[in-house]
Chains A and B, each alone.
Chain A
Amino acid sequence: MASEFRLPALGADMDEGTIVQWNVAPGSVVKRGDVVAVVETDKGAIDVEIFQDGVVREIVVQPGTKVPVGAVLALLEGAEAPSATVARLKISPAARKRASELGIDVATLQGSGPGGVITLEDVERSPPPSQAKAEPGVEPKAGEGMREAIAAAMSRSKREIPHYYLSTTVDVTPATDWLAAHNASAPVAERLLFAVLPVKAIALTCGEMPGFSGFYREGRFEASPAVHVGVAVALRGGGLVAPAIMETAGKSLTALMDDFRALVMRARAGRLRASELAAPTIILTSLGESSVDAVFPIIQPPQVAIVGAGQVVTRPWVVDGTVQARQVVTLSLGADHRVTDGRLGAQFLARVAERLADPGSL
């Protein structure tokens, strides 16, 4: 039985890509997880994996062609029908009519309406078929494309998600002391950055409180059984990506650090995998040293929560009735009122803060 291999969704802010290279040809045997193509996007080149076993029957989209998310890239034989990858098509009647007028294949469109319905706006935003081919020389610069992609995703987030925000400042002196001692004794390649501590604290807390880790799709929330914490990585040319550290909760801090380092390196070199961009079930945006105290982060749809961490700073802090100089960090939570409310959000953030104050728990 033949099935279609489509360009997978690559996160909220990416809706098209240009095939730059195929690693397979008709007749190639593929296994789930194989990187079969390289796709150039606003977020750099991305390795696209296949989600099923089979044999490639036909390459539908040739290198150099720009296609929207959901477009059929290749046909496979001997493959089981993919489950989640081909969603039932939902489209408004007006959108269907307009698509037919413009000669657009509605199967290639991503719906932004309620429950993922393809709206008239989605159709009109879509490039007409004649322009869907790559036009060398008129491509926008990567930076501009990424800025547009981020703007579109964040506009959608603020339009669709009723955000609420919470913040708390936590004394992390035990954690920074522990980190300094670890880094003084560990070989240089095994040193840790502070950011892996909140990554682990978030993952463990998501395991206890499932309303913050998962996806809101087609009008309802589905908690993700596995927690994949995405880490926001700033790119030097401007812009950012948030690839996932897969199966975060079960990893040691050292393993998380190795994954984090590899992700940053590949993000900046433009070699992320499609699955890493689509996987985050919640994101941590960490502002790092010499920045500011707090961030009020915007959720990346279809996720329902995002945690922010400001810089770690020395501040006067009351400990046992006396004022001491302590290392503190302000954590913030942006969460989705369609799924949780401030009371639950406060419990979530307080639990993350507790874990961060007690590095032994990580």
Chain B
Amino acid sequence: MNREQLAARVLELVTGIAPDVDPASVIPGIDFRDQFDFDSMDTLNFAIALHRELGVEVPETDYSQLASVDKCVAYLAEHVS
């Protein structure tokens, strides 16, 4: 997957967890928490979704690297085979 495809996939998974968020309104450079109250439960569900959909098991200590679309893309680019 290239970076655009990764970003689209991340957006899809995040808005799957937070269905009330309009995908078009998500700003890639700003943390989810600051945009739409993404909390620890959402982060855990996101990690579960990444594992299920992309096969990436993100350790809890790396959660901070999943805080925004941009950060996710950078992290996944390294970890998705």
Interface residues of chain A, those whose CB is within 8 Å of chain B, are: 180, 183-184, 187-189, 191, 193-194, 234, 236-237, 260-261, 264-265, 268-269, 288-290
User: Is B39 within 8 A of A234, CB to CB?
Assistant: yes
Residue of B nearest to A233 (CB): B41
B49-64 interface with A by 8 A CB criterion: 51, 57-61
Size of the chain B interface, CB-CB below 8 angstroms: 20
Q: List 15 A-B contacts (CB under 8 A).
A: A180-B60, A183-B60, A187-B57, A188-B48, A189-B48, A189-B51, A193-B41, A236-B18, A236-B36, A236-B37, A260-B41, A261-B45, A268-B19, A268-B20, A290-B33
Residue from B21, B45, B51 within 8 A of A236 (CB atoms): B21
Known interface pairs A189-B51, A268-B20; A289-B57 also in contact (CB < 8 Å): no
**Contact bitstring B4-48, A, C-beta under 8 A = 1, else 0:** 000000000000001111000000000001001101110011011
Closest partner residue, chain B, to A193 (CB atom)? B40
Q: Is B33 a contact partner of A264 (Cβ separation < 8 A)?
A: no
Interface residues of B, Cβ cutoff 8 Å to A = 18-21, 33, 36-37, 39-41, 44-45, 47-48, 51, 57-61
**Distance in angstroms between the alpha carbons of A283 and B59 in the assembled complex:** 31
Residues of B within 8 A of A189 (CB): 48, 51
Partner of B41, one of A184, A264, A269, A290: A264
Q: How many A-B contacts at CB < 8 Å in the complex?
A: 43
Tell me the complex Cα distance, A288–B33, Å: 12
Chain B residues, CB < 8 A from A180: 60
Compute how far the CA of A171 lies from the CA of B1 in the bound complex, rounded to whole angstroms. Answer: 45
Taken together as a complex, chains A and B put the C-alpha atoms of A184 and B36 apart, in Å, by: 27
Q: A290 contacts which chain B residues (CB < 8 A)?
A: 33
The 10 closest A-B pairs by CB, nearest first: A188-B51, A183-B60, A264-B41, A189-B48, A236-B20, A188-B47, A236-B37, A188-B48, A193-B40, A289-B40
Q: Which residue of A lies closest to B36 (CB)?
A: A236
Q: B44 touching A288 by the CB < 8 A rule?
A: no
Which A residues are CB-close (under 8 A) to B21? Answer: 236
Q: Kindly identify which residue among A194, A237, A264, A288 contacts B20, using a CB–CB cutoff of 8 Å.
A: A237
A336 CA to B43 CA, complexed, in Å: 36
Give the docked Cα–Cα distance between A288 and B38 (Å): 11
- Quick one: closest A residue to B20, CB to CB? A236
Q: Among the interface residues A188, A237, A261, A264, which one has the most CB atoms of the partner chain B within 10 A?
A: A188
Question: A188 and B41 in contact (CB under 8 A), knowing A236-B20, A269-B19, A290-B33?
Answer: no
Apart from A191-B44, A264-B41: 11 A-B pairs, beta carbons within 8 A: A180-B60, A184-B59, A187-B57, A188-B51, A188-B58, A189-B48, A193-B40, A193-B41, A234-B37, A269-B19, A290-B33
Chain A nearest CB, measured from B53 CB (Å): 12
Interfacial chain A residues near B44, Cβ < 8 Å: 191, 193, 261
Chain A residues whose C-beta falls within 8 Å of the C-beta of B39 in the assembled complex: 234, 288-289
- Residues of A near B58 (CB, < 8 A) are 188
Chain B residue nearest to A268 in the complex (CB): B20
Chain B hits for A184, CB < 8 A = 59-61
- Give A174 to B33 CA distance when docked, in angstroms: 28
Q: How far is the CA of A194 from the CA of B44 in the complex (A)?
A: 12
Alpha-carbon distance between A188 and B41 when the two chains are bound, in angstroms: 13
